[in-house]
Structure formats: structure tokens, C-alpha cells
């Protein structure tokens, strides 16, 4: 039996933080052997908010290097850049024309991001989830491993697929496959280091709010030293009055590889003065192999570029097939007609 297909992606906006890693990429790595995987660097999504053209190409390449450094295995996974496979933009247009506007206006992430953009909200930002739907549907993905914040976008993707199938497909022969979100309980929502009620995010203006995968040991030490805590002694999971405590314990649990029970017992009598150095050391140790591998890959950019090119060729083969299927169903004139 052939393996089920997985697709996921990250925007190449600067560095990856612990939320991206623990909520998404680490899970990709853990499950990849069981699936046939496509992981894309979603550069078209990165321009839906104002971006710096001088940095886009470099950030895209770095994200590809980070995927590999985190442990993506090319024997079972394909890594590629979204804009290198033209079918993503093309399918987005077709999906745009069948997606009701009010489905997009309801998206929580759009509303949150639009507030930050003020008068400059682009059509692209509103359309972001349709492009994401195209990313997923092009590969007939069965599973989409993401963090909790993407759940609504996944539901929209399914709604769009159902609409296309209902309007243009035959009952027994759906045009598009309905994907399932794959959201892990632990790490699905890593919170900010400066406010345990807010998600860790690339767009937070404060660097102190997040730990990036390429932060130096000194930066990690400084950020954890300054992170928000509370005056209570004894550390516990799942206390709604102590969001920072739950978040920091979860980080420790995931980065140390220990079970939740083991961490709960280990930390139940600890104060922050004892816990913070422990978390610092664990984080530095967990990130070191990724940082070393990243350096190695970035020292060999030609290899990285050629691998992304091969990835785009492989991805295009699958994506173009799906695009043709949708074009045919929608009634377009084909070249050989």
C-alpha cells in the first residue's frame, strides 16, 4: 500500500522560533518516515505583509537549510520553494473564484494581522488562506502537521475542496482530496516569553518574547533570565492562573524529551532561581546540533540550491497534475484541443 501524503510549510520571515519548531517542524521530523512528505518554504505567503526584497531570497534559502538542519530526511521528504512551482499561484486564482469573500473575512489571523497593518492591508493578506489551501490541495495531502493557530485555515481548506467537488465533480470521483489537520497536544501553542497569554510570534516587536533556533547560548541565557514568571514557589502544569509557568515547563518537557509526569515531579518543589538555569542549559543543548548542522549546510550553498531545484521539479510533477484536473473540471480549453 502506498504511503499517505503529508504537506506543510513555514514562511521565510527571518528566523524560526521555538513555536515553529515545537509546533510544526519537530513533528514533521518525527512522523516523516511513515509518510510521503512535501515541505515547502512559503515565500509567496511572506509578501502578504510588507517585506524587504533584499532579504527575501536569503531568508528563503536559510529556511531550506533550517528544514534540513532540524532533521528533514530527503529519502522520504521533498523540500522546495513555493514560488518555484507556478501551480501554487495558478490554483489560487481558480480557488479564489469559487471562495465566498465572507469566508475569508471571518479568518481570525486575517483580523489580527489586519489590525496591525492599518490602512495598508493588502488583498494578498485577505487571500492568504486560499493560497494555503492551494498549497495543500495541489498535493492531495492526507495530513497537514501544523500548530494550533492554523486550525481555522485547515477547516477553510476542506470547505473549499468540498465546494469544488460539489460544484464541479462527480459523486464517486471527487476532484480534490480533503486533508486532515495534524495538531499535537503538547507544543501546539508555544507562548511568548514576555506574556504567557500571547502566542510566541515572529511579528512580536520584542526579541525577548521568543527564542530563535539560531540564538547564541548567551542570547538564550539572557532571554530566559528576563522572561516573565510569577512569585509562586513550586512549579506546576495546567494552572490557568499561571500561564507562564505552564509554558516554561512545557518548553522544558519538549526540549528535554522527558515525560510530562517526570517533569511535574522534578519541578514540583523548585523555585524560578533553580528552574531557569536548568531550562537555559536544556535549550542550549537541544539547539546545538541544529545550529552545527545549519552552519555546515550554509557553507555549501550550491548543494542547497541544487537540492531545492530538484525538490521543485518533483513537486511540480504532482502539482501540475492536480492543476490540470481542476482546470478540466472547470471547463478550460486545453492546449491539445
> Active-site residue numbers?
113, 199, 202
Long-range (24+ apart) CB contacts under 8 A made by 112-118 are 113/49, 113/203, 116/203, 117/49, 117/50
Asked if 129 contacts 166 with a C-beta cutoff of 8 angstroms, the reply is no
Q: Say whether residue 315 binds ligand TYM (CB under 6 A).
A: no
Q: Say whether residue 9 binds ligand TYM (CB under 6 A).
A: yes
Which residues in the 161-190 window bind ligand TYM by CB under 6 A?
188-190
- Interface pick for ligand TYM out of 147, 181, 196, 311 (rule CB under 6 A): 147
- Residue 336: CB minimum distance to ligand TYM, A: 32
Cα–Cα distance measured from residue 55 to residue 63, given in angstroms and rounded to the nearest whole number: 12
- Interface pick for ligand TYM out of 55, 90, 142, 149 (rule CB under 6 A): 149
- Interface pick for ligand TYM out of 138, 146, 235, 316 (rule CB under 6 A): 146
Q: Which of 226, 211, 229 is nearest to 286 (CA)?
A: 211
Backbone angles phi, psi at 48, to 5 degrees: -80, -15
- Residue 7: CB minimum distance to ligand TYM, A: 6
Q: Say whether residue 42 binds ligand TYM (CB under 6 A).
A: yes
Q: Which of 122, 31, 139 is nearest to 82 (CA)?
A: 139
- Residue 131: CB minimum distance to ligand TYM, A: 7
Measured CA to CA in angstroms, residue 1 lies from 29, 38, 188, 322 at distances of 22, 19, 30, 21
Nearer to ligand TYM, 24 or 213 (CB): 24
Nearer to ligand TYM, 24 or 297 (CB): 24
- Residue 203: CB minimum distance to ligand TYM, A: 9
Which residues in the 219-248 window bind ligand TYM by CB under 6 A?
none
Cα–Cα distance measured from residue 111 to residue 337, given in angstroms and rounded to the nearest whole number: 44
Cα–Cα distance measured from residue 94 to residue 113, given in angstroms and rounded to the nearest whole number: 25
Could you list the residues that contact ligand TYM (CB under 6 A)? Answer: 7-11, 19-20, 23-24, 42, 45, 132, 135-136, 144, 146-147, 149-150, 188-190, 199-200
Amino acid at each position: 500500500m502506498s504511503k499517505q501524503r503529508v504537506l506543510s510549510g513555514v514562511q521565510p520571515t527571518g528566523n524560526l522560533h521555538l513555536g515553529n519548531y515545537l509546533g510544526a517542524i519537530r513533528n514533521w521530523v518525527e512522523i516523516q518516515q511513515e509518510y510521503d512528505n512535501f515541505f515547502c518554504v512559503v515565500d509567496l505567503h511572506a509578501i502578504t505583509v510588507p517585506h524587504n526584497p533584499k532579504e527575501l531570497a536569503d531568508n528563503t534559502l536559510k529556511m531550506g537549510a533550517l528544514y534540513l538542519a532540524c532533521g528533514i530526511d530527503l529519502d522520504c521528504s521533498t523540500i522546495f520553494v513555493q514560488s518555484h512551482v507556478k501551480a501554487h499561484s495558478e490554483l489560487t486564482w481558480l480557488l479564489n473564484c469559487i471562495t465566498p469573500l465572507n469566508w475569508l473575512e471571518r479568518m481570525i489571523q486575517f483580523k489580527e494581522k489586519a489590525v496591525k497593518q492599518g490602512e495598508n492591508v493588502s488583498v494578498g493578506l485577505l487571500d492568504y488562506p486560499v493560497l494555503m489551501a492551494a498549497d495543500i490541495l495541489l498535493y492531495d495531502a492526507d495530513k497537514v502537521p501544523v500548530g494550533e493557530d492554523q486550525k481555522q485555515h485547515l477547516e477553510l481548506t476542506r470547505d473549499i475542496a468540498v465546494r469544488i467537488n460539489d460544484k464541479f465533480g462527480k459523486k464517486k470521483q471527487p476532484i480534490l482530496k480533503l486533508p486532515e489537520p495534524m495538531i499535537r497536544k503538547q507544543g501546539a501553542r508555544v507562548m511568548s516569553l514576555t506574556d504567557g497569554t500571547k502566542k510566541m510570534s515572529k511579528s512580536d516587536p520584542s526579541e525577548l518574547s521568543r527564542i530563535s533556533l539560531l540564538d547564541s547560548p548567551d542570547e538564550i541565557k539572557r532571554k530566559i533570565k528576563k522572561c516573565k514568571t510569577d512569585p509562586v514557589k513550586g512549579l506546576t502544569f495546567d494552572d490557568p492562573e499561571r500561564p507562564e509557568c505552564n509554558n516554561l515547563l512545557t518548553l522544558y518537557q519538549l526540549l528535554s524529551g522527558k515525560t510530562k509526569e517526570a517533569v511535574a515531579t522534578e519541578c514540583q518543589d523548585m523555585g524560578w532561581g533553580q528552574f531557569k538555569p536548568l531550562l537555559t542549559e536544556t535549550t542550549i543543548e537541544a539547539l546545538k546540533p541544529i545550529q552545527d548542522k545549519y552552519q555546515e549546510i550554509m557553507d555549501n550553498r550550491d548543494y542547497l540550491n541544487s537540492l531545492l531545484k530538484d525538490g521543485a521539479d518533483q513537486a511540480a510533477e504532482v502539482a501540475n497534475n492536480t492543476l490540470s484536473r481542476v482546470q478540466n473540471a472547470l471547463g478550460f480549453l486545453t492546449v491539445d484541443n
